[in-house]
Amino acid sequence: YLSWKNAQNPELKPLVLNGRLVLARLTCRSIHVRLRELAALDVDLNYLSYSGLIGITPLEWLTFINQQTFASHAYVQLATYCDDEGRPDLKRKVLVALQKRLTAELPRRSRERVTRTLWSWTVEYGYSPARAILWLILCTLLCAGILMVNGHFAVRAVLPLHNAPGAIQARDAVTLA
């Protein structure tokens, strides 16, 4: 149970200000919480620091963080916790969720939002290098295919063609691509 002591009234009171549970700038050893207890609350998680989660899984905590007012430190703290627990897969999910949230917070038609969305689709904000390799292979094959089908006008002066006029060999198409 989270509480604070008031100097005028020494009895324990919940940490709620203006209908909001305030955990901002709080440092604790572990958080003992059940998701259903926090589901209806608006919680300020800005700069909440902890070294353990009890009663809630990191994925449930991530879901909860996604539903709250944006606080980037909450994502960074969860990623640090996942890293300390030896869960690099969860750390990656948390950092991707942070990037998606940052993108969602940008104005709808802004240039940066469009750029970040493309970055998400292509390499998942840099957290999926395999996607970059797949995109490179896909673009190379696409260019090679275009050159094989209709590339005779572009390569006439560059490569000596060994086939009939207007045709390009697959090897030459891949080389050009």
User: Is the sign of the CA dihedral 107, 42, 64, 40 positive or negative?
Assistant: negative
CA pair distance 173, 177, nearest whole angstrom: 6
Containing 77, the helix (H) or strand (E) segment is helix 72-84
Q: Whole-prediction pTM value?
A: 0.70
**In a structure prediction context, what are the per-residue pLDDT tens digits for the chain, which is 177 residues long?**
454 445 555 554 556 666 677 777 888 888 888 778 777 778 888 888 888 998 889 999 999 999 888 889 999 999 999 999 999 999 999 999 999 999 999 999 999 999 999 888 888 888 888 888 998 899 888 888 887 777 655 555 455 555 555 456 666 666 665
